[in-house]
C-alpha cells in the first residue's frame, strides 16, 4: 500500500535510538527460527523455505512457496526501476506462461512498460530568495520531472498540510505568486512527493517548507528519484526548501509562520535531466478467456501491486527494529515519529535480551515487502492458477494485472487505466488485494474514524470501497462470504467517509474506481511491519492468507458467471479530480 511516509525515516530513527543489544553482526544461518507472534503463526517459520511445485488448489503451502520466492532478499525489496523488481515481474510472467494465460501487455507480451525516467538536477540550477542565492542540495531541491522557471514572483504562505489535502488558496491570493505549503508530518510529505499536485489557479509555482528535524527529506529528494513522464499522469515541478531558506523568504521559520504571510520574491531556474532507469518499470497483464462467447468480451479484473520500497541507506539490526516497532510503533510506518519512552525501552531491551538467547543478531537493510504487497501479488497468482485449472472456466474473461509503482503514487494502475489493454468499460469490477497476509489479534490493523485502535482476529478482513460505486457489488461480496461459508467478519471502519487515513485513495483500486469501475479492496490491514525491514515471509499467516485468497477467487467466479454486471448506482468520480475518501 502506498505509504504517507518514507522508508529511510524509520531506519534513521531506529539506528539513532540507544538500544543495547542492537548489534550488527551478520549471520548466514538460513535455518534460524523466528519468534512467533501470538495468533500469527501456528508454528515458527524458517528464514528460508525450499520451494515446492504448486497445484491447482489454493493452498497455504502454495502461497508460502510463492511468497518466499517473491519476497526473497535476492529481489532487493522490489523497488520499481531496479533489477529486483525486474526479476519479480519476470517471475510473474514465467508463471503465467506456464499456466497458459493469454499475454495482454505490449506487443503480445505479458508486460506493459511505463514511461519511467530517473532525474538528475543540473548543478547549475539556481534559487535566489530576496537577492540571496541558496545552495542546491542543502538549502533547496526539486521534486518531479519538470523544469521550473520563476522570475521575480512573490511568495504566499497558504498554511500547513495537516491531512491529505492542500490548504485552500483563492485565485486572487495565487495570482502571479509562488504558493508555499508547510510540511509538518509524513502525510504532508507523501502528498508533496506523490506528483499529483495541481498548482492553484493563477500561481507560478509550488514550494514546500521542510521543518528542521526532517532535513534528510532534501537528501532523499535529490538522490535521483523516478518519475512517470506520461502526460496522462500529471506531474509538476515541486520545490522543497529547508528552514534556513524559509527564514530568508519570510524572515521567520515555519514554526512561526501564519497562513497568508507574504514572502520575498523568488528567482528560480531548476533544470532536470531525465534518463531511463537501468531496468524498465512494467505492469504484468494476463487474461483467462471466458467460456461464454457473449460474455467473454467482459472482464473481471483482479489485481495487486508487485513493487515495494527497496533498501535502507544502511543495515541495522533486524531484531531491534522488530521489537522497537512491536512496542513503540504498532502501526509501522503509520507511526513514524514515535520514538518511545524510558519505560518502553526497558521492555525493548528485555525482549532483545531474550531474542539474543535464541539467535545471534542479523544485520538487515532490505524492505522485503512480504505482506506489502507480496501477499496480494502471490494470492492473485494463486487465483490465476486455480481458475486456469478449472474444467469449466468463468463465463466472463478474467483479467489479471500486477501494477508497478504503487508505492510511488499508484503509477502502474494510473497508467494501465489510462491505456487499458481491454476496453475500459468492459471491466465489470476490479478486486484489489493489498496486504492480505496478516490480521491477527496482535496486529493494529488501523484506526477508526474517531481514533480508536482496530485489531485483527481469526476471521478478520477489511473491506474498502465495496459499495462506493455499486451497492450490488458490496452485497455480492457479503453473499459469497456467507453462502460459501468463508465466515469472515468484515471490518468496514477504514471505509468511513472522511477517514483521515484515506485508504480508499491509497491503493490501486482507486484508479479503476475513478473511471466508474466498481471495486472492492481486500486487506488484512496494517501492523508493526508495515513498510519496515521486518516485513518478511516468516511472519505471514499463511492459513489466513489462504482463506482470503479463496474468498476472492469465489467472488471473481461469481462475478464471472452471473447474468448481469454489477450496476453502478452511486455517484461517479471525476477521473481527473483529486481523490478524497
pLDDT in tens, 266-307: 999 999 888 888 899 999 999 999 999 999 999 999 999 999
Residue 478's nearest CA partner among 555, 562, 565 is: 555
Residues 195 and 290 in one domain: no
How many residues make up the chain in this entry? 581
| Mean pLDDT across 334-362 | 93
Q: Is 456 a residue whose pLDDT tops 50?
A: yes
Mean pLDDT lowest among 61-65, 114-118, 296-300, 402-406 = 114-118
Residues 310 and 213 in one domain: no
pLDDT value at residue 207? 93
Say what the alpha-carbon torsion angle 390, 50, 73, 277 is, to the nearest 10 degrees.
Answer: -40
CA 507 vs CA 69, 139, 379, 391, 403: distances in Å: 23, 33, 16, 33, 10
**Phi, psi angles (nearest 5°) of residue 91:** -60, -45
Residues 270 and 295 in one domain: no
Contact 257, 247 (CB under 8 A): no
Say if 371 falls within a structural domain.
yes
Q: Is the dihedral of CA 354, 360, 361, 366 positive or negative?
A: negative
Neighbours of 388 (CB within 10 A): 18
Neighbours of 32 (CB within 10 A): 16
Q: Is 351 a residue whose pLDDT tops 90?
A: yes
pLDDT value at residue 449? 92
Percent of the chain with pLDDT strictly greater than 70:
88
Residues 80 and 155 in one domain: no
pLDDT value at residue 185? 73
Q: Is 331 a residue whose pLDDT tops 80?
A: yes
Number of domains present in the structure of the chain: 2
- Residue that wins the pLDDT comparison between 114 and 580: 114
| Secondary structure in 3-state letters for 392-461 | CCCCCEEEEEEECCHHHCCHHHHHHHHCCCCCHHHEEEEEEECCCCCCCCCCEEEECCCCCEEECCCCEE
| Mean pLDDT across 352-380 | 96
User: Residue 129: which CATH number?
Assistant: 3.50.30
Of 275, 306, 337, the one marking the end of a domain is 275
Residue 457's nearest CA partner among 443, 446, 477 is: 443
Q: Is the dihedral of CA 511, 513, 519, 523 positive or negative?
A: positive
* pTM of the predicted model over 0.95: no
Say if 268 falls within a structural domain.
yes
**Residues 6 or more apart from 234 whose CB is under 8 A from it?**
195, 196, 198
Say if 487 falls within a structural domain.
yes
Residues 299 and 251 in one domain: no
Residues 286 and 156 in one domain: no
Mean pLDDT lowest among 201-205, 294-298, 480-484 = 201-205
Residues 179 and 90 in one domain: no
Q: Is the dihedral of CA 232, 112, 229, 159 positive or negative?
A: positive
Q: Is 470 a residue whose pLDDT tops 90?
A: yes
pLDDT value at residue 161? 87
Of 243, 275, 307, the one marking the end of a domain is 275
Residues 93 and 146 in one domain: no
Percent of the chain with pLDDT strictly greater than 90:
76
How are strands ordered across the β-sheet holding 140-143? 132-133, 126-129, 262-270, 148-161, 178-183, 205-209, 238-241, 140-143
Say if 180 falls within a structural domain.
yes
Per-residue pLDDT tens digits for 12-57? 333 333 333 332 222 333 333 333 333 333 347 999 999 999 999 9
Residues 179 and 83 in one domain: no
| Mean pLDDT across 494-511 | 95
| Mean pLDDT across 148-163 | 93
For residues 124 and 122, what is the distance between their CA atoms, to the nearest angstrom?
5
Say if 297 falls within a structural domain.
yes
Q: Is 364 a residue whose pLDDT tops 90?
A: yes
Residues 150 and 228 in one domain: yes
pLDDT value at residue 196? 57
| Mean pLDDT across 411-419 | 96
Residues 78 and 141 in one domain: no
Q: Is 409 a residue whose pLDDT tops 50?
A: yes
Q: Is the dihedral of CA 106, 395, 573, 498 positive or negative?
A: negative
Mean pLDDT lowest among 108-117, 156-165, 506-515, 560-569 = 156-165
Supply the mean pLDDT for the chain. 89
3-state secondary structure of 53: coil
Q: How far is CA 482 from the centre of its chain?
A: 30
For residues 446 and 287, what is the distance between their CA atoms, to the nearest angstrom?
34
For residues 170 and 539, what is the distance between their CA atoms, to the nearest angstrom?
49
Mean pLDDT lowest among 5-9, 479-483, 548-552 = 5-9
Q: Is 1 a residue whose pLDDT tops 60?
A: yes
Q: How confident is the model at residue 236 (pLDDT cuts 50, 70, 90)?
A: low
Q: Which domain holds residue 258?
A: 118-275
Of 248, 275, 302, the one marking the end of a domain is 275
Say if 15 falls within a structural domain.
no
For residues 570 and 423, what is the distance between their CA atoms, to the nearest angstrom?
22
Residues 103 and 162 in one domain: no
Cell 509524513 locates to: 186
Say if 99 falls within a structural domain.
yes
User: Residue 422: which CATH number?
Assistant: 3.40.630.10
Say if 299 falls within a structural domain.
yes
Amino acid at each position: 500500500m502506498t505509504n504517507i511516509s518514507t522508508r529511510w525515516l524509520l531506519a534513521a530513527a531506529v539506528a539513532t535510538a540507544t538500544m543495547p543489544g542492537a548489534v550488527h553482526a551478520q549471520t548466514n544461518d538460513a535455518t534460524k527460527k523466528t519468534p512467533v507472534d501470538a495468533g500469527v503463526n501456528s508454528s515458527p517459520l524458517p528464514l528460508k523455505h525450499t520451494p515446492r511445485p504448486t497445484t491447482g488448489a489454493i493452498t497455504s503451502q502454495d502461497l508460502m512457496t510463492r511468497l518466499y520466492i517473491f519476497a526473497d532478499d535476492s529481489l532487493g525489496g522490489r523497488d520499481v526501476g531496479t533489477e529486483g523488481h525486474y526479476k519479480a515481474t519476470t517471475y510473474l510472467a514465467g508463471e503465467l506462461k506456464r499456466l497458459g494465460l493469454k499475454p495482454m501487455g505490449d506487443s503480445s507480451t505479458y508486460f506493459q512498460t511505463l514511461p519511467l525516467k530517473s532525474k538528475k538536477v543540473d548543478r547549475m540550477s539556481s534559487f535566489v530568495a530576496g537577492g540571496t542565492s541558496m545552495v542546491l542540495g542543502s538549502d533547496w531541491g526539486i521534486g518531479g520531472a519538470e523544469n521550473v522557471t520563476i522570475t521575480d514572483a512573490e511568495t504566499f504562505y497558504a498554511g500547513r498540510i495537516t491531512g491529505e489535502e492542500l490548504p485552500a488558496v483563492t485565485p486572487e491570493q495565487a495570482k502571479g505568486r509562488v504558493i508555499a505549503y508547510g510540511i509538518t508530518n509524513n502525510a504532508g510529505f507523501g502528498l508533496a512527493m506523490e506528483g499529483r499536485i495541481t498548482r492553484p489557479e493563477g500561481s507560478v509555482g509550488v514550494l514546500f517548507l521542510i521543518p528542521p528535524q526532517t532535513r534528510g527529506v532534501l537528501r532523499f529528494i535529490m538522490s535521483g528519484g523516478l518519475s512517470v513522464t506520461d502526460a496522462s499522469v500529471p506531474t509538476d515541478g515541486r520545490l522543497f526548501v529547508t528552514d534556513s531558506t524559509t527564514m530568508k523568504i519570510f524572515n521567520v521559520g515555519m514554526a512561526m509562520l501564519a497562513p497568508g504571510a507574504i514572502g520575498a520574491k523568488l528567482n528560480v531556474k531548476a533544470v532536470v535531466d531525465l534518463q531511463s532507469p537501468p531496468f524498465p518499470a512494467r505492469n504484468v497483464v494476463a487474461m483467462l478467456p471466458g467460456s461464454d462467447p457473449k460474455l467473454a468480451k467482459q472482464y473481471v479484473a483482479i489485481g495487486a501491486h508487485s513493487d515495494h520500497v527497496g533498501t535502507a541507506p544502511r543495515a541495522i539490526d533486524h531484531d531491534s527494529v522488530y521489537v522497537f516497532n512491536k512496542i513503540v510503533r504498532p502501526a509501522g510506518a503509520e507511526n513514524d515519529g514515535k520514538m518511545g519512552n524510558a519505560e518502553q525501552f526497558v521492555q525493548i531491551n528485555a525482549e532483545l535480551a531474550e531474542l539474543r538467547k535464541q539467535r545471534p543478531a542479523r544485520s538487515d537493510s532490505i524492505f522485503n515487502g512480504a505482506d506489502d504487497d507480496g501477499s496480494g501479488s502471490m494470492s492473485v497468482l494463486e487465483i490465476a492458477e486455480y481458475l486456469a485449472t478449472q474444467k469449466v472456466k468463468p463465463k466472463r474473461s478474467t483479467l489479471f494485472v500486477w501494477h508497478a509503482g504503487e508505492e510511488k503514487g499508484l503509477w502502474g494502475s494510473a497508467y494501465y487505466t489510462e491505456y487499458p489493454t481491454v476496453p475500459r468499460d468492459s471491466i465489470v469490477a476490479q478486486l484489489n488485494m493489498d496486504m492480505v497476509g496478516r490480521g491477527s489479534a496482535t496486529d493494529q490493523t488501523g484506526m477508526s474514524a474517531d481514533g480508536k485502535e482496530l485489531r485483527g482476529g481469526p476471521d478478520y478482513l477489511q473491506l474498502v470501497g465495496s459499495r462506493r460505486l455499486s451497492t450490488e457489488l458490496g452485497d455480492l461480496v457479503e453473499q459469497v462470504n456467507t453462502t460459501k461459508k468463508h465466515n469472515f467478519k468484515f471490518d468496514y471502519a477504514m471505509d468511513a467517509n472522511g477517514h483521515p487515513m484515506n485508504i480508499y485513495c491509497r491503493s490501486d483500486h482507486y484508479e479503476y474506481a475513478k473511471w466508474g469501475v466498481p471495486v472492492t479492496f481486500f486487506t488484512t490491514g496494517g501492523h508493526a511491519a508495515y513498510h519496515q525491514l521486518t516485513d518478511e515471509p516468516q511472519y505471514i499467516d499463511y492459513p489466513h492468507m489462504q482463506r482470503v485468497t479463496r474468498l476472492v477467487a469465489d467472488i471473481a467466479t461469481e462475478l464471472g458467471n452471473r447474468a448481469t454486471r454489477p450496476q453502478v448506482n452511486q455517484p461517479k468520480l471525476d477521473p481527473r479530480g483529486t481523490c478524497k475518501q
